[in-house]
Amino acid sequence: MKLGILINEGPFTHQASDSAYQFATAALKKGHEIIRVFFYHDGVYNSTKFADPPSDDRNLVQQWSKMAEEHGVELIVCVAAAMRRGINDDALAPGFQISGLGQLIEAGIEADRLVTFGD
Amino acid sequence: MAEEFDDEFDGPVKRFLFVNRKAPYGTVYALESLEVVLISAAFDQDVSLVFVDDGVFQIVKDQDTDGINMKNFSRTYRALEGYDVEKLYVEKESLDARGLTEDDLLVDVEILDSQGLSDLMDAQDVVITS
């Protein structure tokens, strides 16, 4: 199945990004295709390379980057939401790209299921 | 041609439902979600909006945000018609719980009970909630 994922919350305060990552990992393992992960609202904070959590905690930004590298998963950060929050190309961790909301609608059109993770 | 597509967007059309659950101010969800609605309309999708829980406050008349230094974006809901977004729904239970009626709303809506809302969601291809 082709899956799209929408993440509406940043890392740590909410579990949304953790749950989405675990869902994506399980889906890939079962042979499903993740056509795109789209980061919106505070979800854009998942993309910043400046995140530096304590070493005994999970690092969600790195986890997403690794998934992009190993499975070719597209990680799209909404440009308008990112600009409001001080995130630009210089802040992006590997594998993340900034693009427009059209990418979210396209994911909804192209995927068999669009799954939202939020508050 | 078995299927007819709109002249501007030459692609498939899906049924998108945007579920608005949050008050217009206090968090950014309502404002940023409205931006997604406008983009989905630009892609000529079959768009519906439903307002539930505190989301019903998004379309209450006579909003005045002067005192909180926030942009009053409630007029945008009235402009949706111009983007061919005309299917707006409100859950009856959410209105009742807040002492609101259809007359308090700034756009024309169809009132649904929670069963009607469930049926509406069932009929969609894509549901985006915020």
- CATH number of the domain where residue A88 is located: 3.40.1260.10
Nearest to A102 among B14, B43, B127 (CB): B43
Length of chain A: 119
Is B126 close to A108, i.e. CB distance below 8 A?
A: yes
Domain range for A67 is: 6-117
For chain A, what percent of residues have pLDDT higher than 90?
99
Scan residues 16-35 of A and list those with Cβ closer than 8 Å to B: none
Split into its structural domains, chain A has a count of 1
Give the long-range contacts of residues B26-33, CB within 8 A, separation 24 or more.
B28/A41, B29/A8, B29/A41, B29/B130, B30/B55, B30/B58, B30/B73, B30/B130, B31/B71, B31/B73, B32/A40, B32/A41, B32/A80, B32/A81, B32/B130, B33/B128, B33/B130
Q: What is the pLDDT of residues A68-79, one digit of tens each?
A: 999 999 999 999
Residue B74 in contact with residue B51, Cβ under 8 Å?
Answer: no
Is A114 close to B126, i.e. CB distance below 8 A?
A: yes
Per-residue pLDDT, averaged over A34-48, amounts to: 98
Which pLDDT band, with edges at 50, 70 and 90, does B8 fall under? Answer: low
Q: Is beta strand A75-78 parallel, antiparallel or unpaired with respect to A96-99?
A: parallel
* H or E element at residue B122: helix B114-122
Please name which of B93, B106, B118, B11 lies closest in space to residue A102, comparing C-alpha atoms: B11
Question: Is residue A29 in some structural domain?
Answer: yes
Question: Is residue A108 in some structural domain?
Answer: yes
Task: Report ipTM for this prediction.
Answer: 0.93
Nearest to A105 among B29, B32, B45 (CB): B45
Cα B95 off chain centre by: 15
- Which residues of A are designated catalytic? 78
**Helix intervals (H) in A30-59:** none
Confirm or reject contact between B6 and chain A (CB < 8 A).
no
- Which of B16, B19, B32 is the best substitution to test chain A (most A C-beta atoms within 10 A)? B32
Q: What is the pLDDT of residues B23-72, one digit of tens each?
A: 999 999 999 999 999 999 999 999 999 999 999 999 999 999 999 999 99
Confirm or reject contact between B74 and chain A (CB < 8 A).
no
CA distance B103 to chain A (A): 30
Q: What is the pLDDT of residues B95-129, one digit of tens each?
A: 999 999 999 999 999 999 999 999 999 999 999 99
Chain A residues in contact with B14 (beta carbon < 8 A): 108-109
Per-residue pLDDT, averaged over A15-28, amounts to: 98
Question: Is residue A92 in some structural domain?
Answer: yes
Whole-number pLDDT of residue B1: 42
Please name which of A70, A81, A71, A76 lies closest in space to residue A110, comparing C-alpha atoms: A76
Question: Is residue A1 in some structural domain?
Answer: no
Per-residue pLDDT, averaged over A104-110, amounts to: 97
Question: Is residue A70 in some structural domain?
Answer: yes
Is B42 close to A102, i.e. CB distance below 8 A?
A: yes
Whole-number pLDDT of residue A2: 98
Domains in chain B: ranges and CATH: 15-129 (3.40.1260.10)
How far the first Cα of chain B sits from its last, in Å, is: 37
What Rg value do the Cα atoms of chain A yield, rounded? 13
